[in-house]
Structure 1
């Protein structure tokens, strides 16, 4: 069985974290926080936008703000060439 997380990373997806601040109707003066994490494509974030559309349609809580962080975990390695000889005894 193949791991879904690895497959989407190989397709260019990165780990996206969203801090969603919202107000509930029963406590409008209280700002609450929901943390969401999923693999998504930057800079368009289609998976996050689908989730936020679902939130607006299905959840009775008004969005205040969304803070996004994104990191590609699989990328070309960083290397540098070094001249020299290392002798091992």
Structure 2
């Protein structure tokens, strides 16, 4: 069985982390931090924006700011054929 995350990385997805700052509904003058992490496609981030749409529809807390970090973990330069064999006797 193939790992879902590995297959997504091969399709161009990279690990995306979003720091979501929002106002607490019970104390609107305070900011709370929520960290979200998922595999997503840069620069459009469809998975993240689906989550933000869900947040706006279903969660009472108003968003203040979002900071996004993305890293495509599997790069073409990391894949290369190895020739030969090394034996340690």
TM-score bracket for the superposition, by shorter chain length? 0.7 to 0.9
- Calculate the TM-score normalised by the size of structure 1: 0.85
1:3 aligned partner: 3
- Calculate the TM-score normalised by the size of structure 2: 0.85
* 3-state SS of 2:77 partner: coil
- Superposed CA deviations along residues 6-49 of structure 1, whole A, max 9, x for unmatched, are 01000000000000000022110101000000000000000000
Task: Note the residue ranges of structure 2 that are not aligned, 5 or more in a row.
Answer: 79-89
Task: Note the residue ranges of structure 1 that are not aligned, 5 or more in a row.
Answer: 79-89
> How many pairs align?
78
Task: Measure the CA separation in 2 of the matches of 1:48 and 1:15.
Answer: 11
- Give the superposed CA RMSD: 0.9
* 3-state SS of 1:21 partner: strand
Which structure has the bigger radius of gyration?
1
1:83 aligned partner: none
Q: Of Structure 1 and Structure 2, which has the larger fraction of its residues in strand?
A: 1
Structure 1 residue ranges, 4+ long, deviating more than 4 angstroms after superposition: none
